Amino acid sequence: IGASASQMIDASEKARHRMAQVVLMDSLEHLQRTGRIGRATQMLGSMIQLKPLIKINHEIGIIESAGYGRTRKKGVELLMKKFFDQLDVEKPLHIAVLHGNALPEAEALMERIREKYSPKELILNITGPVLGINTGPSALALSGYSEA
């Protein structure tokens, strides 16, 4: 409140450099459909029921692989680990839990985060259309940053 436009831009740039975002998908189908992986990779991953994780590199603006879970439960565990490994958990945290029509799972994830990390800010929302079309239904995402 009361900041100038240049101060707000500066603050948002600093937050962007600390931003982490990791997404767990239910299958490789949407990555193949959007051209991020080939059909053969998608078919093999589907046969062994891989649950892919991706992360958004906010420094250079690209999507990178963050690993795979063999079950949904293991995928959620890996989602938590990959996300919080990128943050300084000793500082105040600002976290969003996003979901693609997976509200009960997102609420449970929120509760785990609240109990373990006591973030300064914790919000729940559905994935937006851009993220949703690329990750598909049942996606879970963690997005946020730690204060400087």
pLDDT tens for 51-98 read: 888 888 877 777 787 888 888 899 999 999 999 999 999 999 999 999
Q: Which of 53, 4, 9 is nearest to 27 (CA)?
A: 53
Mean pLDDT, residues 94-119 taken together: 96
Confidence of residue 105 (pLDDT cuts 50, 70, 90): very high
pLDDT 10s digits, 125-148: 998 776 666 666 788 999 999 988
Amino acid at 5: A
* H helical segments located in the chain: 5-18, 29-33, 39-47, 72-84, 103-117, 129-135
At residue 40, the pLDDT reads 46
Highest mean pLDDT among 3-7, 30-34, 103-107, 130-134: 103-107
Give percent above pLDDT 90 in the chain: 43
From the number of C-beta atoms within 10 Å of its C-beta (0-12, 13-18, 19+), residue 62 rates as exposed
CA 92 to chain centre: 18
Distance separating alpha carbons of residues 83 and 144, to the nearest angstrom: 9
